[in-house]
């Protein structure tokens, strides 16, 4: 398993390099290198001898519970991976690289038509993948399960129904109230001063720079090659320090999870994150529940003001309202934490229809623009701000978007549990003591790796299955106070 992990994480290093330092003309060969690493790892993992070993281990009686969990999860992975023919693995990897570069080009030219053939090829591959994996009700189930064990269209439809019903009602109330002024968030914020502020925040959160680093990339992301080598990236827009600030806190949340995984279990399920939604719960808990709270900025706003004297005239309460302004917008990654889930829902609806063939790739752009009009009341002016804004489809990540919303909902439920377990948490945070919260996350979530399914983990940590109500309560309380309803 370590050998397979070595190959997989070598691929991750090459992907990280591709997003940060790769010279433009190096892309062509890099695609082949990534495909080879993916194929070799797949071949080693799906070898018959691996299956035999796993069956013997599964029948063994002298295993510790942790060892049993490793065997169980590995067997599941083995069975799932064995469904992919080697040629499919290579084809998917090569198609992903081509599609990523197609998307980059289309985005630069602001023309969806340049990406459409690549998207069509990717949808076909994803339909094949769903068929290979198998499903009962909906091809989407097969892909979603790959990202979030046990997640189905049935459950997701129920969750997004709540979004459309309950969250929509909150949004209506917010729309009736006067909007906070957030003009002070825009201006000129020096690149180096932003970088230093971000690094200081990461250090305060407990991110260990001896076991990780931060670089610049076009799209912020986190990747990890083991618990002692975790790479974050950020981007800096000198006209808008918020872009860097919350991407830094968000990726820092992902990074803390990776650094909190068991180093000793490198290559084994217990050394891996529980699921993508649990991963996202960590980033969004830090980004929103902590990073957009009054407590957090009580500590860090004076520091921010020192670095950016333009904020001198703005008091903390005004700043707090500004950074929590809710306003329907075009770009998912820049959306506030209320409207965010409508962005996700739109992508979810489109993906489902693409997979069943109800929607043709040629019509995705029109459908996208229509849904943005319907759910968010915004008109999409061009492809770059619309259907071409996200990298995910070009990466072949279909079934992935819902984990973003689930992440927020888990985050709210986890944070409520942390508040119960850690009395005076807000006061601690407002004094800059973030270690108590990190310790609780480490102990309750990070250290388990993939030992439990995401749903089980949630029950262990919070005493309940995932419930949308926690997020709704959080949003109602916070935004009720800000908007006065």
Binding test (CB under 8 A) with a copy of itself, winner from 80, 155, 211, 385: 211
Query: 37, 167, 261, 445: which one contacts a copy of itself (CB under 8 A)?
Result: 37
Least separation in angstroms between CB 54 and a copy of itself? 20
Size of the site for a copy of itself (CB under 8 A): 37
Q: Which tokens sit at 285?
A: 């808990």
Q: What are phi and psi of 359, to 5 degrees?
A: -120, 130
User: 165 or 210: whose CB is closer to a copy of itself?
Assistant: 210
Q: Of residues 1, 22, 322, 447, which one binds a copy of itself by CB under 8 A? A: 22
Alpha-carbon gap, residue 401 to 406, rounded angstroms: 9
Of 26, 315, 424, 435, which one interacts with a copy of itself (CB under 8 A)?
26
Structure tokens at 369: 């623009």
Distances (CA, A) of 300 to 27, 94, 296, 311, 319: 41, 45, 6, 13, 12
CA distance 198 to 241: 10
Of 20-28, 278-286, 382-390, 472-480, which part binds a copy of itself (CB under 8 A)? 20-28
State the Cα–Cα distance between residues 85 and 96, nearest whole angstrom.
17
Site for a copy of itself in 72-91 (CB under 8 A): none
Minimal distance, residue 93 CB to a copy of itself, in Å: 11
Instruction: Please give the full DSSP string across 332-380, using - where no structure is assigned.
Output: GGG--TTTHHHHHHHHHHHHHHHHHTSS-GGGHHHHHHHHIIIII----
- The distance from CA 12 to its chain's CA centroid, rounded to whole angstroms, is 16
- Considering the candidates 148, 251, 287, 337, report the single residue annotated as catalytic: 251
Q: Which of 136, 173, 212, 414 binds a copy of itself (CB under 8 A)?
A: 212
Q: Is 3 a residue that touches a copy of itself (CB under 8 A)?
A: yes
Give the pairing of strands 222-226 and 229-234: antiparallel
Q: Does 40 bind a copy of itself (CB under 8 A)?
A: yes
Instruction: Check binding of 17 to a copy of itself (CB under 8 A).
Output: yes
The piece of 24-32, 66-74, 304-312, 381-389 that touches a copy of itself (CB under 8 A) is 24-32
- Which residues, 6 or more positions from 434, have their beta carbon under 8 angstroms from its beta carbon? 204, 205, 206, 290, 428
251 is catalytic: yes
Q: Which residues bind a copy of itself (CB under 8 A)?
A: 2-3, 6-7, 9-11, 13-14, 17, 21-26, 28-30, 32-33, 35-37, 40, 208-213, 215, 225-226, 228-229, 266
Residues classed as catalytic: 251
């Amino acid at each position: 398993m370590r050998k397979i992990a070595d190959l997989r994480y070598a691929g991750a290093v090459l992907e990280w390099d591709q997003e940060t330092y790769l010279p433009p003309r190096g892309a062509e060969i890099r695609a082949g290198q990534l495909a080879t690493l993916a194929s070799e790892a797949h071949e080693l993992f799906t070898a018959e001898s691996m299956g035999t070993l796993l069956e013997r281990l599964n029948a063994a009686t002298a295993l510790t519970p942790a060892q049993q969990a490793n065997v169980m999860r590995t067997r599941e992975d083995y069975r799932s991976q064995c469904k992919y023919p080697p040629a499919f693995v290579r084809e998917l990897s090569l198609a992903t690289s081509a599609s990523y570069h197609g998307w980059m080009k289309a985005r630069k030219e602001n023309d969806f038509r340049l990406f459409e053939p690549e998207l069509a090829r990717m949808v076909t591959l994803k339909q094949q993948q769903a068929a290979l994996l198998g499903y009962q009700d909906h091809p989407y189930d097969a892909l979603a399960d790959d990202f979030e064990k046990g997640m189905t269209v049935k459950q997701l439809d129920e969750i997004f129904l709540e979004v459309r019903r309950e969250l929509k009602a909150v949004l209506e109330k917010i729309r009736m109230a006067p909007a906070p002024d957030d003009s002070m968030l825009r201006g000129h914020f020096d690149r180096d001063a932003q970088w230093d502020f971000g690094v200081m925040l990461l250090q305060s959160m407990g991110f260990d720079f001896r076991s990780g680093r931060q670089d610049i990339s076009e799209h912020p992301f986190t990747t990890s090659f083991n618990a002692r080598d975790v790479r974050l990236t950020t981007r800096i827009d000198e006209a808008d320090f918020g872009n860097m600030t919350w991407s830094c806190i968000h990726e820092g949340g992902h990074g803390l999870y990776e650094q909190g995984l068991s180093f000793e279990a490198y290559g084994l399920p217990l050394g891996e994150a529980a699921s993508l939604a649990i991963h996202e719960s960590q980033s969004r808990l830090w980004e929103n529940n902590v990073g957009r709270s009054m407590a957090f900025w009580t500590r860090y706003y004076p520091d921010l003001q020192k670095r950016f004297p333009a904020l001198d005239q703005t008091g903390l309460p005004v700043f707090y309202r500004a950074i929590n302004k809710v306003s329907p917008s075009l770009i998912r990654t820049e959306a506030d934490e209320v409207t965010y889930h409508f962005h996700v829902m739109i992508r979810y609806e489109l993906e489902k229809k693409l997979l069943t063939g109800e929607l043709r790739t040629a019509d995705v752009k029109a459908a996208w623009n229509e849904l943005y009009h319907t759910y968010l009341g915004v008109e999409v002016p061009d492809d770059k701000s619309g259907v071409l804004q996200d990298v995910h489809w070009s990466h072949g990540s279909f079934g992935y978007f819902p984990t973003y919303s689930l992440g927020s909902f888990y985050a709210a439920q986890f944070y409520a549990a942390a508040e119960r377990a850690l009395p005076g948490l807000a006061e601690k945070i407002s004094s800059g003591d973030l270690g108590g919260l990190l310790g609780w996350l480490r102990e309750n979530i990070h250290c388990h790796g993939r030992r439990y399914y995401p749903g089980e983990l949630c029950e262990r940590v919070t005493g309940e299955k995932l419930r949308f109500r926690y997020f709704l309560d959080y949003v109602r309380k916070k935004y009720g106070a800000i908007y006065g309803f």
